[in-house]
Chain A
Amino acid sequence: AQSVTQPDIHITVSEGASLELRCNYSYGATPYLFWYVQSPGQGLQLLLKYFSGDTLVQGIKGFEAEFKRSQSSFNLRKPSVHWSDAAEYFCAVGERGSYIPTFGRGTSLIVHP
C-alpha cells in the first residue's frame, strides 16, 4: 500500500519569500500525485496533480511541483508567497486503478508580513 510523508508540520515564511513544501511517498510503481490546499474553515481544493509526462507540473495560484522518481518526492514550490497563501497543504498519492488516494498529515503554512 502507498504512504505519504510530509516531514514539516509547520513552515513559517515571510511574505515575498520563496516556498518549498516537501512530500515523499512510498509506492512501487509510478503513482498519481496531488497537492491540495485547505484555507481556514474550508474544504480542500486541488492545487495541482501529476499523472504522467512532464515531471514539472503547474497549478493554480502560482504553485508548481516537481515529480522526482529517484527521490520518491513531489515537492510543492512557489517563488513568492502572498499572505493569502497561509493555509494547510496536503500531499496525496493515488495508486493507478484505485479510487482512493492516501493523504499526508499536512503542512501548516504561516506567512509573516
Chain B
Amino acid sequence: NAGVTQTPKFQVLKTGQSMTLQCAQDMNHNSMYWYRQDPGMGLRLIYYSASEGTTDKGEVPNGYNVSRLNKREFSLRLESAAPSQTSVYFCASSEGSGRETQYFGPGTRLLVL
C-alpha cells in the first residue's frame, strides 16, 4: 500500500515548455486534489476531482489543466510553463465521504527558468 505517489520528484523547465505531473493513489479514494505550495502562502488548491469523471477549478487554476484518467490517477498539465509556476506541487486524495481527511503525496518540486 503505497498511498499517494507522484512523479517526477523534481523537474526543471524552460519558459514555454509543457509537462504533465502524474499522481496515483491506491486507497480506492473517490476524490483527488492538486495543490501548489509557495513560501508564506500555505497550500492553494489548483483543481480537484470529487469523483471519477468530474473535475472542478480551485483557487488558482489559471495556466493548468487536469485529467482524471480513472479512479486511481489524476494528472496536472502545464501547457506553457511560466516562472510564476515555480512551486512545489502536491497531490492528495480523500474518501469523498464529506469528512475529508486528505492523504498527501511527497510532492513535485518544479523550477521554471
Contact = CB atoms under 8 A, between A and B. Distances in A.
Contacts of A101: 100, 102
Nearest to A104: B42
Q: Is the interface of A mostly helix, strand, loop or mixed?
A: loop
B104 interface: yes
Given A42-B106, A43-B107, A9 B101 contact: no
Interface in B64-113: 90, 92, 94, 96, 98-107
B104 A32 contact: no
B101 A34 contact: yes
Contacts, number: 56
A94 B103 CA distance: 15
Looking at chain A, what size class is its interface with the partner chain? 20 to 34
Interface string A97-109: 1111101111000
B4 A43 contact: yes
Looking at chain B, what size class is its interface with the partner chain? 20 to 34
B102, B106, B107 — most chain A CB neighbours (10 Å): B102
Nearest to A103: B43
22 contacts: A9-B40, A32-B100, A34-B101, A41-B107, A42-B107, A43-B105, A44-B92, A44-B104, A45-B104, A46-B101, A90-B43, A94-B100, A98-B98, A99-B31, A99-B50, A99-B94, A100-B58, A100-B100, A103-B43, A105-B40, A105-B41, A106-B42
Interface of A: 9, 32, 34, 36, 41-46, 49, 51, 90, 94, 96-101, 103-106
